[in-house]
Amino acid sequence: MEKKTIGILIYANPDHYPPTINAVHLLSEHFDVVLIGRNQDPPFWQYPANVKVHRLGKYTSVKEREQQSAVIKVREYINFVAQASRLFKDVSLIYAYDTFGYAAAYLSQLMKARSIPLIYHNHDLDNQLFPLSTLSGWVQRGERQWVHQANFVVFPSQERGFLFKKVTNFRGELIIVPNYPRKSYFPEHQDFANIILKRFENIQILLQGSISIKSSLLELIESLTFLDNSIKLKLIGPIQETEKSLMKDFALDQQVADRTQYFMPVPYNELASHTWLATVGVCLYKKTDINHQTMGTASNKIYEYAACGLPVIVSDQPNYREHLASESWVRFADPDDSHSIASAVQDILSDFTKYQAMCLAARQAFAQKYNYESAFSPLLVKIDELVNCSQLAKH
């Protein structure tokens, strides 16, 4: 039986968003997929054969696009919407990501002769409204007006979803899909027992993802001064140049420059090789905005650490405790206090038997409940129902 086709749209490079990659793979098991993104930064992800990928627009880097004039940005967005409408000609449902993606999906619908189901998946909340002199300002206001046309709105965090409903007065159905990794992408390491022993003998604290002052960069560096000299900090991910310079100067000042290792971002398909070799994973965000305060289910790196059997240190904040307090492989630390971070590290590493048990518990928790297959399953059922209804209406 021929698979029905759905469209997935994101106004960015989809390869940069693990939750989007995960959804594409799971949806492709049930539907043919037309995936539309922007032609920015080199593509690196290999999608399933029945996923047709369209990277629209002239190739540029993210930095180059940020520097474009408002006129160029508006023109490009209009062209993106027009092309998306044509490419989505025969799809039975559109799954759109984030503000720009949803607005483009809604506008592309207006050009079609018939209406089809529309799902809006938002990762992060905008902390402020941009002025109407910018494309972002117009798109944000469009989103708030048009969100009521969505069949479902999806968030990775219940708190973000509830706040979004309050801001937009959205009265439709809200669905929570945490940003867990795919179980099929993180099979258990065949040499896991030896990996655990090697980790304990060569201790490495790992922060993967965005590296910034807001994610306790300086506190992590300072925490090394309270730990054994053999313990190193590995940072892997994007960082602003100003903060990178500050990081280097601060590490030198704290006399731990030789123990602080920074690596440029690597593609998602290479990241797990670094994670498996680390000893402890950290996910520490300060209370800077609503997104940082609601990472208990929205941070994919917490659960990527778990997928690789890593004990994890997270921010000692209510949202994190609500979701992770019962997990034996999780420790909490004050993201503003380097002593607190060091104490959490020392607790994890105080005894090999305890450390080994934490590693095994982390991997088991991921395999049993903190995986994208489990999280996405209820939404997948609803998508299947919508597609079938859409096909019946078409005929």
Q: What number of residues does the chain have?
A: 395
Question: Across-strand partners of 37?
Answer: 55
Beta strands in 288-385 (DSSP E): 312-315, 330-333
Task: Write down the pLDDT at residue 12.
Answer: 93
Q: How many angstroms separate the CA atoms of 88 and 7, rounded? A: 6
Task: Write down the pLDDT at residue 392.
Answer: 54
CB-based contact 17:122 (threshold 8 Å): no
Closest CA to 281 of 238, 249, 237: 237
Q: 3-state SS string over 190-254?
A: CCHHHHHHHHHHCCEEEEECCCCHHHCHHHHHHHHHHCCCCCEEEEECCCCHHHHHHHHHHHHHC
Question: Across-strand partners of 280?
Answer: 205
Task: Write down the pLDDT at residue 390.
Answer: 64
Closest CA to 295 of 373, 305, 205: 305
Q: What is the mean pLDDT of each run of 10 residues along the chain (395 residues)?
A: 88 94 96 95 92 92 79 91 93 95 92 84 83 88 93 94 90 94 92 95 96 95 97 96 96 97 92 95 90 88 97 95 96 97 98 97 97 96 89 55
Residue 39 has which token pair? Answer: 């032609």
Q: Look-up: residue for tokens 């919407």?
A: 81
Task: Write down the pLDDT at residue 356.
Answer: 97
Q: Please give the domain boundaries of the chain with CATH numbers for all domains.
A: 5-180+372-394 (3.40.50.2000), 192-368 (3.40.50.2000)
Task: Write down the pLDDT at residue 61.
Answer: 78
